[in-house]
Structure 1
Amino acid sequence: MPDRTLVSVIAAKCQEIPGSIAQRHKQTGTWQDITYGELLARAEEIAAGLVDLGMQVGDRIALLSNNSVEWGHCDLGILFAGGVTVAIYPTSIQREVAYILENSESRLIFVEDANQLEKAVQARQANPRVEKAVVMNGPVPAGDFALSLATLREKGRALLARDREALGRIEARLRPEDLATIIYTSGTTGPPKGVMLTHKNILFVIDAVLDTTPDTTDFKLTLSFLPLSHSLERVGGHFLPLTTGRTIAYAESLDKLGDNFREVRPDIAIAVPRVFEKIYSRINETLREMPERRRKIFRWAVGVGREAIRYRQKNQPLPFGLALRHRLADRLVFRKLRAVLGGRMKYFVSGGAPLDANIAEFFSAVGIIVLEGWGATETAAPATVNRLDNFVFGSVGLPLPGVEVKVAEDGELLVRGAGVCTGYWKMPAQSAETFDAEGWYHTGDVGRIAGDGFVYITDRKKELIITSAGKNISPQNIENKLKLSPFVSNVMTIGDRRNYVTALVTLDAEAVNKQLGTGGLDHAALAARADVRQLIQAEIDRVNADLPRYETIKKFRIPPADFTVEMDDLSPTLKLKRRNITARHQALIDEMYE
């Protein structure tokens, strides 16, 4: 099919399996299902409503909301109307929303509720180009700027009653090379850049991922909780399920994620390393509170699981004795751990940042394979991925079929393939700097490619620490080791052009309070205590023991508050915004170098 687009593929799937479940969401305490037939009807109503409002093919239309069934309906509605979805993180502050609306030249914005609408209202004062706001949930204020999603759908139904072929004419005009979405990078190193992804980019990646999976028939239900504004969740947790007839369940919130896993019982989910680190730390914290006999059983079982996973990596059957021990370990330990995630999880996909190899191996040992991949918004999410039948812990896997990866002279990884975006919206200079004349995308990641083709990530090129003695240090390597401590929430190492490495360390207040018996003290109160500093020093000493001397953390400080997305310390996918953290805590950093 030469003119295959997201619109044609998803519409065909909806028509093929109209009675199958496309989406699941919790409403008034119970999980409700939406079929593929209902999904198509809602998307078409929204699309026709946009046409009725005067939206044209190629118009940018923004979407500002947490994950929800409405998010999916509106995204498809925009595409079916020939528009380009401009996805905005729901945690974005008003200034960021205004920048994206202005830069993308969006004519309309979908917002989740009154709180998100206020951001759009303020942005419109400086950018009258935004003509309308569609409110998905809750009340709509008086005036001609905002209307409800229900009203938009009514307009769409009316238009389709008058002209049933309106959307068909639009679909016939769409081409694979047309823009499908502009996804703005989270701006950890500067203003967000609008990554332009076409229908062809996204479908290429979906097809390539499916080609790497020998049998996907068991993977029917995914739980969506990473922001749909992020390329990994958008492609892997939204478009891939909908183009292949699977079911997406939407988590209520991160706070209720544990409950939702147990209720929904998904087969697969996409996560970032911080999710695995938190689960791993909680398990270790629980383990310390167990009687010694149960701790021994747990350690024995994990040891058996790690031994067994070696055979799986080689696609070999377990020896008879190991198979017996593995069945016992599964009955005593693994089954109970998997039950926390619903009991049916077969594998996680991890992306967004490097995952510690020990954590990946632990999850795989207990029966939940973690397949780590690597890519960027600019590559429509994954460029490499570990396979179910071919995976290596600590690696981000092999290049997808049709994707080339090479290492530049300075160690930077370069990517070329049909998934690579067409550039940055209205940023020709940055596009020319990042995408060279031969089609290679300069990723900014430093890494290596092993003899067997597996790719390994070292760090971000711009984040490498080069000490005053000329030593090159990977900050993520040190930070990831320290974040394995149950008492540590986050870490940022410092040392570029300095003569030693230091760190800002934030606390897991709940774990620290439990360890020291300090009740419910908040982060600021804990940060001021000497016994807390001694506790963290012990954790740093443990990490330092496994590091070369020039990489060891010589001093640390505990800021009065944890790093958060709301305070602009972290990106929506929980990556450190190092410049912002440095500016906020410059005095603490200077203290460590006096």
Structure 2
Amino acid sequence: MENNGYLSYVESALSNYGNLRAFSDFQGETINYNQVGERIVGIHQLYKDLGINRGDKVALIGRNMTSWAVVYLGTITYGAVIVPILPDFNSADIHHIVNHSESKLLFSTDLLFDKLDETKMKCLMGIVSINQCVSLVDHVGGKLSESVEKIKPMFKGDGNSFKSEQLFFPKIESEALMVLSYTSGTSGFSKGVLLPHRSIWSNIKYAQEHLLLKPEERVVSFLPLAHAYGCLFEFLWPFTMGCHITFLTRTPSPQIITEAFRKVKPHIILSVPLILEKIFKKRVQPQLEEPKVKALLKIPGLNKIVYRKVKKKLVDVFGGEFREIIIGGAALNKDVENFLRKIDFPFTIGYGMTECGPLISYAPWTESRKFSAGELVDRMEMKIDSKDPYNEVGEIMVKGDNTLLGYYKNKEATDEIFDANGWLHTGDLGVIDEQNFIYIKGRSKNVLLGASGQNIYPEEIEACINSMEYVQECLVRDNDGQLEALIYPDYEATDAEKLTKQSIEAKLQEVKSAANKILPAYMNIQQVTLFPEEFEKTPKKSIKRYKYTK
């Protein structure tokens, strides 16, 4: 790891870009790099006053916003470990993550604080509002409240008095832990991914050398910052380049996102497939279905004019000034990809996972290949676990600087993901070509992707539904962008009550409603389907999921 890893990039940004705009909340405040530095000084002072040490955990929960980013930077540059928590998790999940991570302090937005119970997080010194910079809960005899009040002026200042020399950046070992990222919430499925400084540094270095951004260029941050993909490419990397990052601050929907694109006009865009597909279906597909357009598309020469107009309209939807859209998290619909390539739309598809901080493969749109997820990134090795990796599908395995240290307090899961030779088993299936471009053919890990980029683990939803009356077993799948639960009823119970098929279906709708009250909104089931027979199982009694996925 060169110099002091990612911290050297932060130090350089604060030294070089002082008066440039750094962060904005969409339709809210804007602060420059000097103000970011001034607030980081405040965070460091708070930690010193409280006796928080290097390596201690600090939890952070909230929507994408300026104050979230400041707390994140202030924590990692102090040498503490940041524990970002997805705001969509329910109260029990948040309590569990705070306790499991042994976090010393929790930063929260006021809105999310209302659904927390501080008595269930006794490891904490207290809870601090990132909206107002005030102590919400103080478990250390008033010391937290006093310390927060003392640094409050730094969060109101104009940054003019800030000098980068005011900040002390500790020397951090490359293997030291920087981020503890939880890939799910419930205690039965928690996996705390241990990402060291070298992983984040390696990802940032690759982005600086291969992706194009310049000082003062604009980025919109709408993917969840608690996930590695959005955090790295919409926040950590652009910050090192002197860019102006606008945080959406609210739950992203295609309408809100496109409004932000129109006003901010970003120079690079990160997205998940569902966002692009929804925009395509609403803004482009209806035009292509018009009789006149259909006729023009059949005429050589004229069809090129139509394609140019469609491309311009689609580019304008995304603000009109971006150089590239990078899609990650899941496969893009093949029909959509084929059309976007036909109109020469500037997009590319990358591949990664939280456990690699997140990047595994990428190629710029001018070099990308159809249905490929790019080529292997620098400082990483890859192999396909098959006899013929060019033609025979096998598990994708990687090793290198981007990889995690392991899973927190979970030796079994750590031993499972790493083999004896240090190869990380991704659980994803694919092939490669001679230039090391990766073609993902399937995901053995079952994870689904929410509309805003959240990881959805069907086992969590299934565990919830399986515990309910009238349910024998269920399987959750993605059905054209909606979560569908296939439920095999408990016929012993239904027969005992002499329920008709119509009555059973009505009971299953009640199961859906009950489950959705428990689950986070992004994990809500949209459709329940009565399944007439037991699911086919493996010898280990696991459902053969691939037989039921679309």
TM-score by length of 1: 0.70
Q: Deviations over 1:512-547 (max 9, x none)?
A: xxxxxxxxxxxxxxx99xxxxxxxxxxxxxxxxxxx
Partner residue, 1:389 = 366
Is the counterpart of residue 130 in structure 1 residue 139 in structure 2? Answer: no
Q: Deviations over 1:562-581 (max 9, x none)?
A: 9989834856xxxxxxxx96
Paired residue secondary structure (2:55):
coil
Partner residue, 2:67 = 70
- Equivalent AA in structure 2 for residue 229 of structure 1: A
Paired residue secondary structure (2:425):
strand
> 1:588, 1:371 → 2: CA distance?
39
> 1:401, 1:220 → 2: CA distance?
25
What are the equivalent positions in structure 2 for 1:500-515 lying under 5 Å apart? none
Q: Could you say if the C-alpha distance between residues 240 and 165 of structure 1 is closer, same or farther in structure 2, counting changes exceeding 3 Å?
A: closer
Q: Could you say if the C-alpha distance between residues 383 and 143 of structure 1 is closer, same or farther in structure 2, counting changes exceeding 3 Å?
A: closer
Partner residue, 1:506 = none
Q: Could you say if the C-alpha distance between residues 58 and 119 of structure 1 is closer, same or farther in structure 2, counting changes exceeding 3 Å?
A: farther
Q: Could you say if the C-alpha distance between residues 139 and 588 of structure 1 is closer, same or farther in structure 2, counting changes exceeding 3 Å?
A: farther
Paired residue secondary structure (1:172):
coil
Aligned-residue CA RMSD (Å) = 4.0
Is the counterpart of residue 341 in structure 1 residue 318 in structure 2? Answer: yes
Partner residue, 2:267 = 267
Q: Could you say if the C-alpha distance between residues 366 and 74 of structure 1 is closer, same or farther in structure 2, counting changes exceeding 3 Å?
A: farther
> 1:23, 1:198 → 2: CA distance?
25
> 2:3, 2:129 → 1: CA distance?
33
Is the counterpart of residue 35 in structure 1 residue 32 in structure 2? Answer: yes
Of 87-96 and 277-286, the range deviating more from structure 2: 277-286
What are the equivalent positions in structure 2 for 1:243-254 lying under 5 Å apart? 243-253=240-250, 254=252
> 1:167, 1:55 → 2: CA distance?
19
Q: Which of 412, 423, 426 does residue 443 from structure 1 map onto? A: 426
> 1:140, 1:210 → 2: CA distance?
36
Q: Which of 160, 171, 183 does residue 185 from structure 1 map onto? A: 183
Structure 2 residue runs of 5 or longer lacking an equivalent are 156-162, 387-392, 448-457, 459-476, 489-504, 537-550
Q: Deviations over 1:52-108 (max 9, x none)?
A: 222111110000000001111010111122211000000011111111111110000
Q: Which of 92, 95, 100 does residue 92 from structure 2 map onto? A: 95
What are the equivalent positions in structure 2 for 1:10-49 lying under 5 Å apart? 10-27=10-27, 32-49=29-46
Q: Could you say if the C-alpha distance between residues 462 and 14 of structure 1 is closer, same or farther in structure 2, counting changes exceeding 3 Å?
A: closer
Give the drift of 1:178. Answer: 1.7
Partner residue, 1:459 = 442
Q: Deviations over 1:282-325 (max 9, x none)?
A: 1355337x75224545x46xx99xxxxxxxxxxxxxxxxx7x98
Q: Which of 96, 107, 114 does residue 118 from structure 1 map onto? A: 114
Give the drift of 1:43. Answer: 1.7
Give the drift of 1:32. Answer: 4.3
- Equivalent AA in structure 2 for residue 264 of structure 1: V
- Equivalent AA in structure 2 for residue 441 of structure 1: L
Give the drift of 1:155. Answer: 8.1
> 2:512, 2:83 → 1: CA distance?
36
Paired residue secondary structure (1:223):
strand
> 1:452, 1:404 → 2: CA distance?
13
Of all paired residues, the percent bearing the same amino acid is 26
Partner residue, 2:455 = none
> 1:86, 1:332 → 2: CA distance?
46
Partner residue, 2:547 = none
Q: Deviations over 1:252-289 (max 9, x none)?
A: 4314212111111112121111112211221355337x
What are the equivalent positions in structure 2 for 1:348-359 lying under 5 Å apart? 348-359=325-336
CA contact (8 A) 2:382 2:396 kept: yes
Is the counterpart of residue 408 in structure 1 residue 385 in structure 2? Answer: yes
Partner residue, 2:277 = 277
Paired residue secondary structure (1:390):
coil
Q: Deviations over 1:211-237 (max 9, x none)?
A: 334x54499221110100000011111
Please identify which structure carries the higher helix content: 1
Q: Could you say if the C-alpha distance between residues 418 and 562 of structure 1 is closer, same or farther in structure 2, counting changes exceeding 3 Å?
A: farther
Partner residue, 1:293 = 292
Of 389-398 and 97-106, the range deviating more from structure 2: 389-398
Q: Deviations over 1:425-465 (max 9, x none)?
A: 1112211111123221111111122334211112222449x
Of 355-364 and 390-399, the range deviating more from structure 2: 355-364
CA contact (8 A) 1:238 1:248 kept: yes
- Equivalent AA in structure 2 for residue 445 of structure 1: D
Q: Deviations over 1:116-163 (max 9, x none)?
A: 22344x1x4233111111102269687635859973633879xxxxxx
> 1:570, 1:413 → 2: CA distance?
28
Partner residue, 1:588 = 530
Q: Could you say if the C-alpha distance between residues 187 and 144 of structure 1 is closer, same or farther in structure 2, counting changes exceeding 3 Å?
A: closer
Q: Deviations over 1:548-589 (max 9, x none)?
A: xxxxxxxxx9x9789989834856xxxxxxxx969x95x723
TM-score by length of 2: 0.75
Partner residue, 2:228 = 231
Paired residue secondary structure (1:445):
strand
CA contact (8 A) 2:128 2:136 kept: no
Q: Could you say if the C-alpha distance between residues 463 and 68 of structure 1 is closer, same or farther in structure 2, counting changes exceeding 3 Å?
A: closer
Q: Could you say if the C-alpha distance between residues 155 and 570 of structure 1 is closer, same or farther in structure 2, counting changes exceeding 3 Å?
A: same
- Equivalent AA in structure 1 for residue 222 of structure 2: F
> 2:39, 2:213 → 1: CA distance?
28
Q: Which of 369, 378, 381 does residue 355 from structure 2 map onto? A: 378
